[in-house]
Structure 1
């Protein structure tokens, strides 16, 4: 089996990507392919498998970037695709734990720890003491695998997951109807659920989200959330990201408009 680690990146996250590369190198897996999709206006330069997906009319084409990285990895002979966002570091067992379950059809999702501001681990050994997986999702024991119930597909996060090439092709990759921030990962998970592809929580496949400034709700992504949320609702009959929408509404930024939402 040939494994590939795929990252969608931009120059705004270049420092995070450099740290991710360094941590991947510490795993000492020269057999693992590495494919990066860069979403900047200008094409990337450097070594390895690099693909270029320039921004679209409404911003970064994240879903298309993941599709392009996957296509490049598959062309290179990959059988297992591990997606890791540009701002995430791999834990010591991330690759091997995903590989251990790869023969079972499904979407494989490991625990994610959000590192605090100022937390800058220097090597793989320093990650264990920082491990505090997000409480919204299950945290299986190391090497334990739990099958998610249908409602839990809303908790699929694309910042760290793995999928076999055959299952990836069955689902059809990410929809390219979404640009900018939000909804493309929930759409991907819902299509997997519709096809009876199981969602599996994989213990020990830890990823660590590097700190960077953000807001709750994410004001910088408000227009993306409204546009992508409407596209999602047209397909599935329900708006995603409801918690953020409610916060925007309480702040007076948006209001209900029939079955949807609009800016005030």
Structure 2
């Protein structure tokens, strides 16, 4: 059976409830991982796992790993913000049959503010995939090149259970915001696990306010970036680091980036 794993906090509760309503119409197992310290609310029809914050904030990596324990054949990870398109699960299932040893990634459309679809069939007319990542034609799967692993986003992807075991899950040393998804991508790249772009596996990101660069996550990005660099030899999230540096908030040192003040 296909299992859809979603992380949730109070800040994204409305998003996840809408997502779960969409998923409830499909024959899948649903797992919601609650990341806040308080006890989780009910999510009818879904298994609920509680992973409270760690010393440095929400445990996104640990949360996904705990959710995956409940999975069977195919694991689909869908962020709290994302609604599944009508063909998302079918396209991931088809791609998994063709590429059982791969990490599978579908396109993501970012919905504008105020747009809240109420049923899955309203989504296809809104499709406008983010231009930063490939979006093959519906039903086509494209194996990514070695440089494309940097484009991996954890907000919508799928793996078979054996491939998840081979990956070893997310590195739970990452806490707070940033870095854990790029770390997983580099783990896959190093292990020779293909990355495959799945045409037609559309997810639709529900609007919420953001900042760029994400100032509220500066310390997380520095801490997790340093962890990533110690493991892989370079810093991730370079665009944000450049923006922080241009604003005078951080500076380079012989051991990497750190706060200026």
Scaled by the length of structure 2, what TM-score is found? 0.96
Q: Deviations over 1:206-257 (max 9, x none)?
A: 0011110110101111110000000000000100000000011111111111
Q: 2:211 aligns with which of 211, 215, 224?
A: 215
Match of 1:62 in 2: 60
Q: CA shift at 1:259, angstroms? A: 4.4
Q: Does 1:6 align with 2:5?
A: yes
For 1:200 and 1:50, locate their aligned partners in 2 and report how far apart those are by CA, in whole Å.
29
Kindly tell me the number of residue pairs found equivalent between the two proteins: 256
Point out where structure 1 has 5 or more consecutive residues left out of the alignment: none
Farther-moved stretch of structure 1 (82-91 vs 123-132): 123-132
- Structure 1 runs of 4+ aligned residues shifted over 2 Å read 45-48
Q: Does 1:244 align with 2:218?
A: no
For 2:110 and 2:26, locate their aligned partners in 1 and report how far apart those are by CA, in whole Å.
25
Q: Does 1:21 align with 2:20?
A: yes
Match of 2:77 in 1: 83
Q: CA shift at 1:62, angstroms? A: 0.2
For 2:154 and 2:91, locate their aligned partners in 1 and report how far apart those are by CA, in whole Å.
17
Q: CA shift at 1:101, angstroms? A: 1.3
Equivalent residue of 1:177, what SS?
coil
For 1:172 and 1:125, locate their aligned partners in 2 and report how far apart those are by CA, in whole Å.
36
Point out where structure 2 has 5 or more consecutive residues left out of the alignment: none
Q: CA RMSD in A?
A: 0.9
Q: Does 1:200 align with 2:191?
A: no
Scaled by the length of structure 1, what TM-score is found? 0.95
For 2:48 and 2:104, locate their aligned partners in 1 and report how far apart those are by CA, in whole Å.
25
